[in-house]
Structures are given as C-alpha cells and as structure tokens.
C-alpha cells in the first residue's frame, strides 16, 4: 500500500518574478534607462540580488518552522483517523449481524460490487513502519484492532486516545518524500472503476450489475451535467486524494470509462478535503448582494488584443456585408486575414475568427437565433486549436454600442447573445485573446464600421466588452453595487400586484422559480398560471409510497421488468423516474401556492410552441381576465465546452430561454402588463466555462428586456442575473462543490424575497445581478499584446545603449496604466519594479512582441501586473489600485512643488553628455535645469507631442515622465557622486490623462540617501501649476566608476 506523500518544506520567495540564475542577465537582463557604465552593467542587479537572497534565507527559516508544525499536525490527524477507521471496523465485525435486509445492523448498503475489489485509499493505509525525519516530532504509535477499513469515515476533530489500549500491529505515520520524487499514481491502489460504479449506483439508483464502464453518460445513463458534478463530488468524498477534474473538463468525458482513464492519468492529487468540527453548524445566511450593470466611458489604452498577429484570421461575414472591408483594414496593419462566407471556409490551421453576425439586422427572433448558432459553429471549428495553442475570437454586433442597455437596439437585440459567446470563450481559453465588440452602425458605411472594429483590436487591449458609439465614444461595462430593494410600503394594488393580478409563469411549478412564486403568493396572492412541460399524469400505485431518487430507480426497474420481462436501458429508467419526480414536485408546489392564498392553474405547454401558448392564454383570459404579468423562469442547461457543444444542445438551451420569451411577448402583446420579469444568469455577464449556449441565451434575454422597457415605460421590467442558488438545479453535490471552491450560494428564502422586492419597484435598472456574497462576479485574468517596430514606435531608437535600443521604464508605466483601466478604473500604480531590461535589437527589422499580463488581486487588493518578454520572461511588475478619496483629492502642497532650498546651477556642458544622460533627440524631454541641490532639483520639460511621438492613444505622457526621471538622475549624481539609474517606483499617481501641453515644470524632492541609493519624489506640473503626474518613492541605484 503506498504511503501518503508529505511534501518537503516549500520556501516562499518574496520576489517570485525575479529568479536569479547564471543566465539572468544574458536574456536582456537589464533595466529601463541603462545609464550604467558598460564595464559594470549588472551592478544594480547584484545589489538587488544580495538583498533578495537575504530575504529568502529568512523566509526559508520561517517556512521550515511552519512546515514542521503543519506536518506534525497532519501526521497526528492521519494516525488518529487510521485508529478511528480500524476501531470502527473492529466494532462492526463483533456486532450482531442479523437484520431485515441481510446486512449487519448499523451498516450501509455495500459501496462496491462484490465482484470488484475496492482497495483502501492511501490516506487510510496501514503500512509497515517507515523512517520519519528527526525534525518532525511524532505522536506515539497508535494501536487498534485489525479489520478491513471501509470508505465514508466521519469527520474528525482533535485526536483522542482510545479508552483502553488493545494490542494490534503498529500504525506509523508515513515518511516524507523529497520534492523531486515523482508523485504516486493518481488514486494510489484504489480500484477506480469499482469506486465510480459504486458512486453512480448510489447517486442514480441503477444496480451496480447493470453498469458497465463503456456506458455513455447521456445516451445510456441519462446523466446530465448537474448529476455529473454530484458524482464527482461523491468520488472526492470517498477518495479525497483523487486528481481534480474541472466542471468544464468533466463535460468532455462521454463515458464512465473515460472518467476512470482521466482519473488514472490526471495530474497531482489534490490535498485532502477540509474537515469541519461538526459542532459549529452552518453560518447564518448573509444578505444577497445586488449589483447593476452600467456603461462607463473608457478610452482605448493603445495595446493590441492578444493573438492578433499570431495567425491568419478568418473573418466571417454573417450577412453583415463588411467582411471584405475588415480584411482590407487588417492587412493594412500587417495582419493576415481572409474573408469567409461560412464555417466550411475556415482553414484547418486557423486559430483566429472574427464573427460579424451581429451586424446584420435579423428579420425575426428565429433568424437571430440562427445567426447565433452559426457563430457558435465557427467558434467550435477553431476551439480545439485556440484552446491548446492560443489565438483570437472576436464577436461583433450592433446593439447600440452599449450592449443594448439603453433599449434603442430594437430587433437587433435578438442577436445580442454573441457577447455571451465571447465571455464564455474568455473563461474556457485563458491563453487566447477574446473580445465582444458592440459597434453602432447608425448609417455609417462598411468601410467606416470596419475601421472602427479594427482600431479596437489594435488599441483596445484586453478589454473583453468594448462598446463603440457612432460618435467615436468608447464604452465598457462595469458592475456597481446598488442598494437592495426593500419590501414595498405601498398597498398591493399600488405596487401593481394583488389578488386581481394574473401572472403567467414558466418553469413555475418547480425549483427556484417555484420558491420565488411562493414568496410572491404569500405577500400579494396573485392568480398564477403555471406553464411547464411536465404532464400531471396519475402516478402508478406501486410507486406512490416510494421516496428518494435511488429507491425510485429500483422500483421503476422492477416494475418494467415485471411488465416486459426484459431489462430496460438505464437511460429509459432515468427518464421515467424524472417524469415521476417532476410531477410530484409540481403537485406539491401547486398545493403550497394555494395554501399561501393564490388561485393556481397549471398547463402542460411547451413555452416555445406559440400556437399552443396562445390557445391556453385565451382560456385564461376567458376565466380570469387579461394577463397582467409575465415571469419567464424556464431554463435548461447542458454544460459542454465550446469544442464539444452540439447544435442540439444549443437549441435545447437557447430556444427555451429566447424563443420561449418571444412566444410569451407575442401572446401577451395586447395585454396590460404591469410586470415583466425574466430569470437570467451571471454567466451572461461574466461567462462560465461549459455554458456558452446558456450565456448567449441569457445575454439575448437581457438585451431584449431592455428594448421592452423602452416600449413599456410604465411596466416593471427586470432581467435578474442570478448567481448560483442553494437549491433548484444546484443539488447537494453541486452545492458542496461550489462551497469547496469558496463560491457563495444564494439561499432560497433570501433569493425569493429579493425577487418579490424587485417586482414591487418600478423604474431603476432593467438588468440587475443578485447573488450571495462570495459569488464569482469578476472577469478572468487577461493579457494584452504590444508589437514594437520602427514603424510603430520609431522614437525608441533614440533610447539606446551601446547602439541597442532599450525599452524605457515610462513605457511600462504607460502600458500598466492602460491594462489596469481595462479591468477597472485603477489609475494608482504601486511597487513598480524593474526586473530585467528589455533590449530591442530587432526594432528595425521584424520587431518585438511583449505581453502585458493582468493577474489576480493580491492580499492587499492590488491587481497584479507584469510585462513579459520572450518565453514569458518577466521584465517589469507592479500592482494597480483604485484610488481612495484621500488619494483622489490629493494635491501637492507648496512644500512639494516649490523649489527646494539651496539650488545651484549645473556645471557647464551639455545636459545630454552620452553618459549620465545618453538619450537621442526623440527622448530629450528635459529642456532646461533651473538648479540642483542636495534637497532636489527643478527643471523645464516638454512632452511627447513636442517631440513628435504621434497622437497615440495615450493614457500618460511617457516623454514628459521620462524627462522627470532624467532630472532625478542629474540630482542623484550630485548626492551620490556618480551616475545612477532608476530601479523602482513606490507609487505612481496620474492626475491628467493623455499627452501634455508645452511648458511643463518638474520638481524633484529629495528623500532618503545611502552610499548606494537615492530616493526622491517627482512632480510633473502643467503650465497652470496643477499636477499632471507624481512619481513617489523613486529609487535610483548608483553604479560604480
């Protein structure tokens, strides 16, 4: 039996990006300004390396101490668990065995078929004694009765000794394995096939002897995406160290055998699942978080979308008529592209697609659905290559340039779901560039629209959602927290709801929608028309007393066997059971709604069938009067990655939401609606791996309801983007999975109350998001691209050391500012550090490619930023922060901007002497030096416009900022007695964006000075004296000679 691996101590590296090796400085390992003497080019790095190694030595000591303590606790827990397992098994072996069902009292049904051996997971292994390092204090060996342990041990708390020792073989803690030792095979000696079949049997009710590893999950077993996650969760409970399988990856596995093979060939086993203390109980539910989706103006930052230059792009026209214009515009910028009329014209090696389907105005919702399906087919055609090798996907639509939020998109909103496809792709393909572009045509010709789209690809960076108005305004989307709606203080009729209201609800007899309608019934008692696909047929008598899905499976199997004499396929059993359970749930929901005071009628109608729906609502009007409200809660999910998504799955998911909504709107067109609500999802706004069709459907729904609000100003219109619920389609297994990932779940009661409050308040945002605290409401990490060449950045040739152009620090400031603003409005940069210089020897030739990476937030809330070179080598890093009110209102005082005392003129000679300041004409931003002293310096600057750099777009003025750094270098020469170069900036505050006017003034204020370093603050001031930018805590390092 293999032992548990105890990881070797892991040393924390405070500077994970700067890994010093013998080759660190041969791969452009220098800094931005490169003022160093060429005989000692790496002196600043040597100083920095000594400091880093000292910090690492201290961190290693702390890590070893922490690891020793953690290992001790882990070994104590493992030993105690082994005792508990063995003691329990011994007790069961000695207990009386007679019972009604032939199993020992106190035991569960056998977890594994007798024909297959279920080996003990390595976490519970009883092994021979092993050597343990002396530095880890161990508990005394624990003795317990010998018995065969079984799965499913209860959670345990603090170790407790047995009441009395019993002589047995010794159970020792396993020995640590060195970090270099290859990991054991996933799952150890666990019989993965037997374990999986046992779990499937337990979760579906199919007898183990009916199951074969070759069976397909859907076709043979009827196992949907929700049940898959429940099965995966149960597997991890029984064998916690099995490799992880993501939900999206799980969707690509078609058979039981493929799951087993994936587990066998998976990566590292995951750490043991955390155990609760068994006493605290669930925490009280927190109040839901309510957010609204808004547009904000956001100028392009000048970075290209990732993958734009990597491959030939297929530009699919989609009926827009502008594919040729887009291709011509791309080719003018050196990008390979060719038009395509359909998926069949996408080349086999293509890794990039531009989908223009949303620029063609659909003649009907059905045509809009067909256009979106065609776009999904194109994405599916390149998904495998983009997912593994990287590439680019761009969707383009015209829903007003604001993703339909202002309601002006009209019929074009029926193609608005293309943005949901892009947002899902961003989740599924982290190494690819992805954009959802909403470009308002507004009468512009094809060439003008194409130019706007391509300009966004060239300068819009990693912004996924880009809205392009016809007037040139660029927008992006933001979610903002808004106060939760409180219960209305109006009378029921004043709120538009009451006993006379007639509300038509889809999906209303079951799940989340049923819970919401129950809360509505208890508060306002409206008459409810519930539409569902479930016929409320009479249940067979022999099934009425059977409860529980697994038990019902067995009962249905036996019934079919008795009626037919044969054994049905598992999927047939599952379908029959699903009908029984759905009918039970619907009946129970109807009874509860009636007890709450509402009159209820139920109709088995497919909401997509417009004719049948109209007939049913005509009968409702005859009995109850006109329809006054619609709640569209019906939904279907079929999680699969874009590469695996079938047309049939798309139609099932998409049509239920979108064409169902169209049928409802058509059938109630003449009714006096006071309430129109649709259940959307956070996946529409943020994407969710495996749910491209669901995201597309819900985003279409969002935009259509915005258009409906414009037509119905007096109606309460809401598209509620729900986060994951604790209920409905989220069963217990999936809920446990979400909690394990730290994802908050919305309790049914709190969510239902929030739903009622939304319907009680007219006005406000149409699109709102309601989720539990901790629900994932953010964008994925993103990366933008920069291409540098003489054509695109000619001025960089004047920032050269030994005839080799070198990237200046101020360009990293510019790009980091652009990247941070693409994710959020964060203009405060902190802790910018130069890790390695970026040499540009190919500037005059093919050029260079750099990546600007935006990562996750650090512990302090800072957005991690890195500038990566060839092979992912990090060259710069920083963090971006939203400005607090104190920082936003910060204005330099007179002490900051007035001339420092004791200023003296610089000695005669040229400012740009080729040594301290080596810059060529395009970088000579320091026009004059008024004076220098030990306390600072003052000078006059010009900016990029004055030096002829071009119009940008620019977030900062890099030339002016570089001029400020040049003045600081001249000051540092006075206090250090030698030349220096800037290595870090503690904080960068940008006060005025874009290029600066002429007549800038710069003040350098001295900070701490040591024999090797000098620190200062740099204030760049506009001609009116207002601050343009501040570089605080700039550290300059002296160089020898």
> Domains along the chain?
188-272 (1.10.1200.10), 292-480 (3.40.50.720), 502-771 (3.40.50.720), 890-1041 (3.10.129.110)
Nearest residue to 1009 (alpha-carbon basis) of 1028, 1029, 990, 1036:
1036
Radius of gyration of the chain (CA): 33
Alpha helices (H) along 494-605: 511-524, 549-564, 570-595
Is 799 part of the annotated catalytic residue set? yes
User: Which alpha helices (DSSP H) does 722-808 contain, by range?
Assistant: 732-740, 748-759
Nearest of 377, 354, 353, 361 to residue 319 by alpha carbon: 361
What gap in Å lies between CA 757 and CA 740, rounded to an integer? 31
Give the span between the Cα atoms of 605 and 612, in whole angstroms.
7
SS3 at position 171:
strand
Q: What angle do CA 504, 508, 514 make, to 5 degrees?
A: 130
Closest CA to 578 of 616, 532, 612: 532
pLDDT at 279: 41
Burial 545-581 (b: 16+ CB within 10 A, else e): ebeebeebbbbbbebbeeeeeeebebbebbebbebbe
Catalytic residue among 398, 765, 831, 962: 962
Q: Give the residue ranges of the chain where pLDDT is below 50.
A: 1-41, 43, 47, 61, 65-66, 68-187, 267-282, 489, 491-494
Report the distance separating Cα 996 and Cα 944, nearest Å.
7
Q: Is the Cβ–Cβ distance between 528 and 600 less than 8 Å? A: yes
Alpha helices by DSSP H, listed for 843-936, are 885-888, 894-897
Report the pLDDT value the prediction gives residue 376, as an integer from 0 to 100: 98
Whether 508 and 679 have beta carbons less than 8 Å apart is answered as no
Candidate list 799, 848, 875, 919, residue with the active-site label: 799
| Distance of alpha carbon 303 from alpha carbon 1030, whole angstroms | 23
Q: Which helix (H) or strand (E) holds 726?
A: strand 725-726
Chain centroid offset of residue 81 CA: 37
What pLDDT, on the 0 to 100 scale, is given for residue 120?
Answer: 32
Specify the pLDDT at position 831. 96
Q: pTM for the whole thing? A: 0.74
Backbone angles phi, psi at 436, to 5 degrees: -110, 110
**How large is the greatest C-alpha to C-alpha distance in the chain, in angstroms?**
108
Taking 3-state DSSP, the helix, strand and coil percentages for the chain, each rounded to the nearest 5, stand at 35, 20, 45
Distance CA 76, CA 142 (A): 10
To the query of whether residue 80 is one of the catalytic residues in this protein, the response is no
The pLDDT of residue 284: 55
Structure tokens that stand for 230 in this block: 């429940």
Which residues fall within 8 angstroms of residue 963, CB to CB, at 6 or more apart?
925, 926, 927, 939, 941, 942, 943, 1000, 1002, 1020
The token duo for 632 is 């569209």
Task: Quote the DSSP letter at residue 904.
Answer: B
DSSP 8-class letter at 136:
S
First vs last C-alpha separation in the chain: 64
Q: Please tell me the distance from the alpha carbon of residue 169 to that of residue 32, in angstroms, as a whole number.
A: 66
**What is the C-alpha to C-alpha distance for residues 816 and 988, in angstroms, rounded to an integer?**
11
Residue for token pair 């078609």: 254
DSSP-assigned beta bridge partners for residue 680:
721
| Distance (Å) of CA 1019 to CA 731, 786, 935 | 58, 28, 14
pLDDT of residue 592: 95
Cα–Cα dist 459/1038, whole Å:
37
Contacts of 665 (CB under 8 A, 6+ apart): 630, 708
- Looking at residue 805, what DSSP letter applies? E
* Residue 840: closest CA among 884, 797, 792: 797
Which among 53, 60, 74 is positioned nearest to 9, based on CA atoms? 60
């Amino acid at each position: 039996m293999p032992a548990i691996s105890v990881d070797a101590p892991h040393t924390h590296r405070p500077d994970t990006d700067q890994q010093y090796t013998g080759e660190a400085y041969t791969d452009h390992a220098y800094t931005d300004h490169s003022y160093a003497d060429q005989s000692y080019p790496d002196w600043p790095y040597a100083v920095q390396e000594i400091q880093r190694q000292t910090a690492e030595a201290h961190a290693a000591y702390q890590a070893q101490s922490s690891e020793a303590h953690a290992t001790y606790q882990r070994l104590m827990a493992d030993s105690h668990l082994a005792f508990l397992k063995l003691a329990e098994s011994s007790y069961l072996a000695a207990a009386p065995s007679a019972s009604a069902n032939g199993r020992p009292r106190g035991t569960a049904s056998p977890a594994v078929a007798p024909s297959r051996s279920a080996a003990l997971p390595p976490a519970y292994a009883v092994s021979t004694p092993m050597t343990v390092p002396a530095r880890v204090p161990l508990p005394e060996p624990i003795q317990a009765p010998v018995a065969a342990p079984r799965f499913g041990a209860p959670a345990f708390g603090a170790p407790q000794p047995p009441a009395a020792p019993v002589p047995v073989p010794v159970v020792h803690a396993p020995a640590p394995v060195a970090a270099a030792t290859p990991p054991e095979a996933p799952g150890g000696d666990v019989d993965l096939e037997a374990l999986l079949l046992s779990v499937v049997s337990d979760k579906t009710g199919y007898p183990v002897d009916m199951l074969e590893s070759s069976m397909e999950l859907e076709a043979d077993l009827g196992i949907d995406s929700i049940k898959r996650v429940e099965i995966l969760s149960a597997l991890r409970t029984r064998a916690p160290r099995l490799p992880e399988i993501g939900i999206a990856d799980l969707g690509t596995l078609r058979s039981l055998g493929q799951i087993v093979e994936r587990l066998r060939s998976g990566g590292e086993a995951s750490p043991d699942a955390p155990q609760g203390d068994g006493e605290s109980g669930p925490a009280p539910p927190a109040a839901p978080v309510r957010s609204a989706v808004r547009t904000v103006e956001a100028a392009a930052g000048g970075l290209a979308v990732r993958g734009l230059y990597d491959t030939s792009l297929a530009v699919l026209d989609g009926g827009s008529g502008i594919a040729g214009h887009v291709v011509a515009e791309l080719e003018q910028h050196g990008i390979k592209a060719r038009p395509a009329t359909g998926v069949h014209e996408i080349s086999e090696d293509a890794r990039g697609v531009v989908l223009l389907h949303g620029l063609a105005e659909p003649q009907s919702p059905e045509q809009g659905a067909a256009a979106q399906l065609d776009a999904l087919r194109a994405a599916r055609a390149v998904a495998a290559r983009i997912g593994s090798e990287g590439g680019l996907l761009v969707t383009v639509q015209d829903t007003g340039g604001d993703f339909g939020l202002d309601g002006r998109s009209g019929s074009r909103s029926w193609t608005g779901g293309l943005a949901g496809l892009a947002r899902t792709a961003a989740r599924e393909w982290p190494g690819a560039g992805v954009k959802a572009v909403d470009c308002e045509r507004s009468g512009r010709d094809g060439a003008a629209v194409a130019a706007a789209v391509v300009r966004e690809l060239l300068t819009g960076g990693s912004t996924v959602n880009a809205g392009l108005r016809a007037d040139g305004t660029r927008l992006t989307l933001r979610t903002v927290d808004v106060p939760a709606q409180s219960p209305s203080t109006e009378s029921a009729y004043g709120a538009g709801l009451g006993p006379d209201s007639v509300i038509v609800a889809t999906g209303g007899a079951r799940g989340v929608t049923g819970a919401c309608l129950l809360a509505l019934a208890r508060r306002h008692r409206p008459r409810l028309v519930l539409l569902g696909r479930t016929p409320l047929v009479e249940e067979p008598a022999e099934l009425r007393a059977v409860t529980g899905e697994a038990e019902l499976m067995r009962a249905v199997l036996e019934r079919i066997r008795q009626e037919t004499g044969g054994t049905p396929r598992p999927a047939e059993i599952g379908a029959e059971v699903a009908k029984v359970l759905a009918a039970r749930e619907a009946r129970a929901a109807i009874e509860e709604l009636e007890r709450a005071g509402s009159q209820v009628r139920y109709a088995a109608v497919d909401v997509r069938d417009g004719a049948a729906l109209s007939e049913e609502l005509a009968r409702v009007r005859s009995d109850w009067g006109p329809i006054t409200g619609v709640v569209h809660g019906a939904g279907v999910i079929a999680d699969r990655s874009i590469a695996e998504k079938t047309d049939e799955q798309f139609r099932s998911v998409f049509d239920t939401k979108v064409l169902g909504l169209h049928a409802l709107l058509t059938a109630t067109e003449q009714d006096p609606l006071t309430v129109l609500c649709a259940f959307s999802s956070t996946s529409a706004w943020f994407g969710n791996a495996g749910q491209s069709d669901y995201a597309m459907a819900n985003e279409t729904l969002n935009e259509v309801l915005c258009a409906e609000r414009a037509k119905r100003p007096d109606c309460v219109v809401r598209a509620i983007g729900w986060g994951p619920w604790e209920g409905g389609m989220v069963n217990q297994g999936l809920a446990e999975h979400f909690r394990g990932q730290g994802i908050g779940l919305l309790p049914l009661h709190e969510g239902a109350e929030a739903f009622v409050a939304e319907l009680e308040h007219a006005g406000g945002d149409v699109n709102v998001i309601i989720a539990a605290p901790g629900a994932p409401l953010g964008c994925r990490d993103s990366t933008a691209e920069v291409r540098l060449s003489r054509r695109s950045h000619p001025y960089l040739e004047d920032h050269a050391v030994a005839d080799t152009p070198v990237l200046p620090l101020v360009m990293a400031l510019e790009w980091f500012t652009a990247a941070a603003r693409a994710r959020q409005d964060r203009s405060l940069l902190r802790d910018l550090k130069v890790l390695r210089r970026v040499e540009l020897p190919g500037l005059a030739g093919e050029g260079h490619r750099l990546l600007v990476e935006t990562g996750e937030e650090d512990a302090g809330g800072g957005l991690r930023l890195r500038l990566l070179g060839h092979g992912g080598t990090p060259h710069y890093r920083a963090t971006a922060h939203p400005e607090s009110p104190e920082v936003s209102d910060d204005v330099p005082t007179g002490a900051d901007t007035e001339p420092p005392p004791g200023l003296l003129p610089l000695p005669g000679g040229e400012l740009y002497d080729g040594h301290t300041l080596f810059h060529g004409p395009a970088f000579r931003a320091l026009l004059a030096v008024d004076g220098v002293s030990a306390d600072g310096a003052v000078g006059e600057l010009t900016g990029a416009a004055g030096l002829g750099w071009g119009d940008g777009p620019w977030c900062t003025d890099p030339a002016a900022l570089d001029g400020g750094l040049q003045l600081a270098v001249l000051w540092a020469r006075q206090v250090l007695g030698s030349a220096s170069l800037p290595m870090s900036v503690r904080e960068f505050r940008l006060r005025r964006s874009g290029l600066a006017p002429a007549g800038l003034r710069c003040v350098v204020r001295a900070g701490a000075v040591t024999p090797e370093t000098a620190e200062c603050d740099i204030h760049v001031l506009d001609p009116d004296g207002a601050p343009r930018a501040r570089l605080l805590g700039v550290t300059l390092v002296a160089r020898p000679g």
